Chains A and B, each alone.
Chain A
Amino acid sequence: MYVAVKGGERAIENAHAWLAEERRGDKDVAELSVAQIREQLSLAVNRVMAEGSLYDPDLAALAIKQSRGDLIEAIFLIRAYRTTLPRFGASKPVETAAMACDRRISATFKDLPGGQILGPTFDYTHRLLDFKLAADGDVPEAPERATEPAEVPHVADFLNQEGLIEEALFDDTEPPDLTREPLEMPAARALRLQALTRSDEGFTLGLAYSTQRGYARNHAFVGELRIGSVPVEMDIPELGFSVEVGEVILTECETVNQFTGSKTEPPQFTRGYGLVFGQTERKAISMALVDRALRWEELGEDNVGAPAQDAEFVLYHADNIQATGFLEHIKLPHYVDFQSELELVRKLRREAGAAAVQEAAE
């Protein structure tokens, strides 16, 4: 039940003023610029772009500054801003095969065309705090090796040539869009992928981990993980042709999963797919594992009742803005609801007390 009440305006204004002051922190410490956040906290910026579902590093950096580093709050700001933008169109599907790769690794093949490119990764760091960073320090230029930028083929294509992996069947149907139509079950894979790419990283990681620990186990290998930039090309209706409007950095993960065959499919490898804005590799791998788990029905696998197989459970709880909106609203005034609950409990207690007295008397 909702009842409109007035009051507390002064308190709210003052709370906002204090929030702004706390956000700034100690004024003896230099203020962060948006450019500093964009350049030096770029993985936080990437997460905000991915889950905010809007690629714009400057806006994401601004949102992080405004939200005092609360990334879900920053994502909320980006989602809210996004709804104010007129949409000029949709791009052609990006060609990740043509990606200029900063990083490209495969856990399934050691030697593969294009090679294993580690890129700027944390993987081989020792996870020891580097106290040199606490003081300012110049960073030396990273080494270079002369090369010609070249396209790197996808690992799945090699397995495909032998027919050992299910084929990704080309299709050009207009995809559903959950920012335009409410999410409905059953959700086609295109809708699931859209929901997963903007899903909460922590939630998706937890679900993906559950599949590795045995809840809908499907033995995933990272067939390929690549990070790099791709051009975005869109049709311009008034020109009658398409142009590239810019470039985005993406992380793509394709898993290769053991599959012993089903009623409809022979034994072969199957695929899970993750593609996320920015350098966001934990999220992309998680997305690929959850995508694969959700595909049980189309592959003719058994539903073992695992959470990651339940599309309704996964998709309705993966969005952190929906989740936090509903979760946090319970701290807002519910005076009237609670008043009625209070009345009810008092009444029940009176009745229980009266019954006890009567019982004792009998």
Chain B
Amino acid sequence: MKDAVEEQTDRKAWMSLLAKAPEGRISELLDATVSRPKFTWLRPPEIGSTMVRARAGAAGAPFNLGEMTITRCALTLEGGAVGHAYIQGRRKTDAEAAALADALMQTSVAPQLQRDVLTPLSEELRARKSARAAKAAATKVDFFTMVRGDD
């Protein structure tokens, strides 16, 4: 049995992963493994923004950098599980899919969702990151000394 802190850490991790999925990808993976359950909107998808903050000198006092678009929604399944989504961009269908996945992760189909939705999303994210890092690494400068001035 997991304690409350662990449950919260897990949920934070999967919500963060769902938020970074490319457009349409959650629906593809979700619909391939489960049929969508009935749900009621607590908050239909709505588009807004969040103010992105940063720190002066990367480590000092916070300042407001600018906003980014966000889509959020909340829904409840017939069994009572509540799913939330807060995702970047203006993507109502993706927000719905993310909130459904969040709700389903609190039900008995969680292991199946972990295997068929979250694990693939996580692997795809890592692959995108690695590909970009590999291109950056190829532009890393290897210095070699041609002439040294003293003696």
Question: Within 8 Å CB of A168, what residues of B?
Answer: 55-60
List the A residue with the shortest CB-CB distance to B46: A86
For the complex, is A269 an interface residue (Cβ under 8 Å from B)?
A: no
For the complex, is A258 an interface residue (Cβ under 8 Å from B)?
A: no
Question: Within 8 Å CB of B129, what residues of A?
Answer: 100, 149
Question: A117–B58 contact, CB under 8 A?
Answer: no
Question: B136–A101 contact, CB under 8 A?
Answer: yes
Give the docked Cα–Cα distance between A242 and B86 (Å).
10
List the B residue with the shortest CB-CB distance to A96: B58
- For A58, A103, A144, A171, the residue with the greatest tally of chain B CB atoms inside 10 Å of its CB is A144
Question: Within 8 Å CB of A197, what residues of B?
Answer: 65-66
Question: Within 8 Å CB of A248, what residues of B?
Answer: 52, 68
For the complex, is A70 an interface residue (Cβ under 8 Å from B)?
A: no
List the B residue with the shortest CB-CB distance to A110: B143
Segment touching A, from B25-33, B69-77, B112-120:
B69-77
Give the docked Cα–Cα distance between A31 and B53 (Å).
37
Chain B 1-23 interface residues, beta-carbon cutoff 8 Å to A: 8, 11-12, 15-16, 19-20
Q: How many residues of A contact B (CB 8 A)?
A: 85
Question: Within 8 Å CB of B54, what residues of A?
Answer: 93-94, 96, 250, 275
Chain A 44-79 interface residues, beta-carbon cutoff 8 Å to B: 49-50, 53-56, 58-59
Give the docked Cα–Cα distance between A231 and B19 (Å).
10
Question: B15–A234 contact, CB under 8 A?
Answer: no
Q: How far is the CB of B39 from chain A (nearest CB, A)?
A: 17
Question: A91–B132 contact, CB under 8 A?
Answer: no
For the complex, is B147 an interface residue (Cβ under 8 Å from A)?
A: no
Question: Within 8 Å CB of B138, what residues of A?
Answer: 142-145
Give the docked Cα–Cα distance between A231 and B134 (Å).
19
With known contacts A90-B53, A171-B60, A118–B139 Cβ distance under 8 A? yes
Q: How many residues of B contact A (CB 8 A)?
A: 54
Chain A 163-187 interface residues, beta-carbon cutoff 8 Å to B: 168-179
Question: Within 8 Å CB of A122, what residues of B?
Answer: none
Q: How far is the CB of B18 from chain A (nearest CB, A)?
A: 9
Question: A245–B132 contact, CB under 8 A?
Answer: no
Segment touching B, from A188-196, A200-208, A260-268, A326-334:
A188-196
Question: A116–B57 contact, CB under 8 A?
Answer: no
Question: A89–B50 contact, CB under 8 A?
Answer: yes
Question: A170–B67 contact, CB under 8 A?
Answer: no
For the complex, is B135 an interface residue (Cβ under 8 Å from A)?
A: yes
For the complex, is A236 an interface residue (Cβ under 8 Å from B)?
A: yes
What are the interface flags for A11-30 relative to B under an 8 Å C-beta threshold, 1 for contact and 0 otherwise? Answer: 00000000000000000000
For the complex, is B38 an interface residue (Cβ under 8 Å from A)?
A: no
Give the docked Cα–Cα distance between A86 and B58 (Å).
28
With known contacts A53-B66, A111-B143, A245-B70, A144–B47 Cβ distance under 8 A? no
Question: B134–A145 contact, CB under 8 A?
Answer: yes
Question: Within 8 Å CB of A94, what residues of B?
Answer: 52-54, 65
Question: Within 8 Å CB of B63, what residues of A?
Answer: 175, 189-191, 193-194
Q: How far is the CB of B55 from chain A (nearest CB, A)?
A: 5
Question: Within 8 Å CB of B90, what residues of A?
Answer: 56, 58-59
Question: A93–B134 contact, CB under 8 A?
Answer: no
Given contacts A103-B136, A189-B56, A244-B16, 13 further A-B contacts (CB under 8 A): A85-B49, A102-B135, A116-B141, A143-B138, A147-B137, A168-B57, A171-B60, A242-B12, A243-B19, A244-B15, A246-B68, A248-B68, A275-B54
Residues of B within 8 A of A (CB): 8, 11-12, 15-16, 19-20, 46-70, 72, 74, 84, 86-90, 129-141, 143
